[in-house]
Amino acid sequence: MRERELITKITALLHISNEDAFIFPYNNILFSLTVDTLVAKTDVPKGMTPFQIGWKTVVMNLSDLAAMGSTPKYFLLSLTLPREYPVLDITKGAKSACTRYHCKYCGGDLNEGELSASGFALGTSKTVMLRSGANPHDKVGITGDIGRVYSGLRNLETATQPMKEKIFTPRPRIAEGLMLKANSCIDISDGLSSELHHIATASNVQIDIYSDKIPIHEDVTKKAHSLGENPITWALKSGEEYELLFTSPYINPKIGTEIGEVKKGKGVFLDGEPMPLLGWEHYT
C-alpha cells in the first residue's frame, strides 16, 4: 500500500484531517503540533555533514508550522545514531537552526541504531491556514523558486552553489507564512505536483497551473536542457524544497509568485491538460 493510501486510512481511523500539523485551541490561542523524521537512506545526500543533518531536521518541522501560519515556539529531537557518531555536531546544527528561527530547543531522546532523526515542533497562532481552505476564484501562489533540489541531486558533482544551498542548508518560510493569511497553504516537501493534488483533493476544487509562470532557477533550466529534459517536469517533482504553496484572492508579489488559479471542479491541470502526480512518495 502506498503512502497516500496509508495516510488516508490512518487519518480515518484516528478521525483527524491530513494537515501539516495537528491543531488544538487553548485560552484563545491555536497550538500547532508537528512531527517529521529524517532518515539516512532518503534524506541525507552524500556530503551532508552531521551539523547540516541537525539543521535540516529542524527545518523539516518548522516548514510545517510555516504552512500553518504558526510561530515556532518549542522543538524536541529524538536521535537514533550509530555508536561513535558525532552526536554533538547534530545537536549543534539543530540548536543553530532553532536559534535562527527563535524556537527553543528543549532536548529530546538518544538511541543507538541506524541514523534517523525525529523532530517535534510546537507553534502558536491566532488563525491557521489549512489544505482544505482553497476557494474557487482564488489565485495560486508559491514562495521562492523550485527545482534546485531535484536538479542538484541528479548529480551532486555538477550541482551549482545555488542548488547545494537548498539541498544542504534549506530554510523554512516562517516569515512568509506569518504574512500570508491565505485561504489554503501547504509546504513543498514531496514536490509541487504532489502538494497541488493535496490541496485540490482536500478543498474539493480544480486547480489550473500555467507552466510559464512557475518560478524556476536559471541553473535548473540550463541543467535540464543540457540533458535534453524538461525543467518544468523537474520543478513539479522536486521535493524537500520547503517553499510554501498557497491560494488566496490576491498574491502579494513581495511574498510569492502567482502560478495559477482555483476553479469549481476537480483535479489539477497544467496548461489545460491533467497534471501527472509527480514527486516523492514512500512505499512505492
Handedness of CA 88, 90, 93, 94 (dihedral sign): negative
Rg from Cα positions in the chain? 18
Rounded to whole angstroms, the Cα distance separating 142 from 125 reads: 21
With contact defined as beta carbons under 8 Å apart, do 193 and 260 qualify?
A: no
pLDDT at 282: 62
Bridge partners of residue 125, in order along the sequence: 30
CATH topology of domain 131-274: Phosphoribosyl-aminoimidazole Synthetase; Chain A, domain 2 (3.90.650)
The closest of 141, 168, 142 to 53, measured between CA atoms, is 168
Give the chain's mean pLDDT.
Answer: 94
Ordered DSSP codes for 133-159? G--TT-EEEE-S-B-HHHHHHH-GGG-
Bridge partners of residue 260, in order along the sequence: 140, 209
Burial of 24 from C-beta contacts in 10 A (0-12 / 13-18 / 19+): exposed
The residue ranges of every structural domain in the chain are: 17-125, 131-274
CATH topology of domain 17-125: 60s Ribosomal Protein L30; Chain: A; (3.30.1330)
Give the three cell numbers for residue 127.
Answer: 488563525
- What percentage of residues in the chain have a pLDDT greater than 70? 98
Which amino acid would we find at residue 227? L
Rounded to whole angstroms, the Cα distance separating 77 from 98 reads: 11
42, 95, 120, 183 from 77: Cα distances, Å: 19, 10, 6, 31
Which amino acid would we find at residue 114? E
Which amino acid would we find at residue 211? S
The closest of 171, 167, 208, 203 to 185, measured between CA atoms, is 203
Task: For 10-41, write each residue's pLDDT tens digit.
Answer: 777 877 777 778 999 999 999 999 999 999 98
Which amino acid would we find at residue 208? D
Could you tell me how far CA 65 lies from the centroid of its own chain? 10
Please give the chain's pLDDT, 284 residues, in tens. 777 777 678 777 877 777 778 999 999 999 999 999 999 988 999 999 999 999 999 999 999 999 999 999 999 999 999 998 999 999 999 999 999 999 999 999 999 999 999 999 999 999 999 999 999 999 999 999 999 999 999 999 999 999 999 999 999 999 999 999 899 999 999 999 999 999 999 999 999 999 999 999 999 999 999 999 999 999 999 999 999 999 999 999 999 999 999 999 999 999 999 999 887 656 56
CB neighbour list of residue 147: distance below 8 Å, 6 or more residues apart:
216, 217, 220, 224, 231, 234, 235, 238, 241
Which amino acid would we find at residue 20? D
Find the helix or strand (DSSP H, E) in which 98 lies. Answer: helix 87-100
With contact defined as beta carbons under 8 Å apart, do 51 and 93 qualify?
A: yes
Task: For 215-253, write each residue's pLDDT tens digit.
Answer: 999 999 999 999 999 999 999 999 999 999 999 999 999
Q: What is the dihedral of CA 127, 133, 138, 139, to 10 degrees?
A: 80
